[in-house]
Amino acid sequence: MSATEDLLVEADRLAVELGHVDPPTLLDVRWRLVGPPGRDDYAAGHLPGAVFVDLDTALCGPPGPAGRHPLPDPVALQAALRAAGVRAGHPVVVYDGGDGMAAARAWWTLRWAGHRPVRLLHGGFPAWLAAGLPTGTAVPTPAPGDVEVRPGALPVLDTGEAARLATAGESVLLDVRAAPRYRGETEPIDPVAGHVPGAVNLPAPGYVAEGRFPAVDVLRERFAAAGVGDDRPVGAYCGSGVTAAQAVFALHLAGRPDAALYVGSWSNWVADPARPVATGANPG
């Protein structure tokens, strides 16, 4: 299995796998930062057999100084995953409403928790619909899973580590928010505008478009243009660790499974007014 096949699954391939005797566990993680909750979308129609898992309450901890989407409590996460039918060593496929952000954070969380066989449905729910594949409204009752959550299987940055990564000459910290937020011209969510000093801006459209990822060689070129080299430590952050999880997913596709996520991201950084803030187009 190639690195891409280990991370992504296309709709037609997933349809075949769902016809197997023991199909992958399907998790619907549709989510919006603002607007109607993803559970409403799930109720209106979802992939047959999919179980809804809420990103805010099941895959993340409660918001606070650690950020708007901090790490979940391992015990609570294990209970939520078992309730969704996640079994130890059994394949999981996650999907969202098409932008790939919530699915990537779900993918990252499961892998961080030590559950490696998890893939993202490429293009999410819209790709499934575009392929003419069936949906349903029946809510399954999965047999309880037995997954064991073992935190730490993927690297995580705290504020000090993020600062060091951003300022050390041999490493790079990617800020994947939109350029006006990076430059400090606007901040629609968090109380302070700007970026972590030394961080390099690579807005999400540079490595993903409408929830679909370009070819691996294109990804490598785009990350290289932002200063990501084969031997340079790399991490990513955004507003609250959701879009940045998608960047880490893309870095995995590009051959960098060591890429670290600053989970607290900007919402954690600005929780302490003593932390420095940079503005403008330069990392500085």
Q: 37: helix, coil or strand?
A: coil
Helices (H) and strands (E) in the chain, counts: 11, 9
Q: 127: helix, coil or strand?
A: helix
Burial 173-199 (b: 16+ CB within 10 A, else e): bbbbbbeebbbbeebeebeebbbbbbb
Distance separating alpha carbons of residues 172 and 8, to the nearest angstrom? 26
Q: Which residues are catalytic?
A: 238
Q: Is 253 exposed, middle or buried (0-12, 13-18, 19+ CB in 10 A)?
A: buried
Task: Please give the angle made by the CA atoms of 31, 34 and 136, to the nearest 5 degrees.
Answer: 35
Which two three-digit tokens encode residue 28? 């619907």
Which two three-digit tokens encode residue 15? 């349809």
8-state DSSP, 72: P
Per-position DSSP letters for 261-281, written without gaps between them: E-SSHHHHHTTSTTS--B-SS
Which two three-digit tokens encode residue 31? 């989510």
Strand partners, 236: 174, 261
Which two three-digit tokens encode residue 200? 């390099």
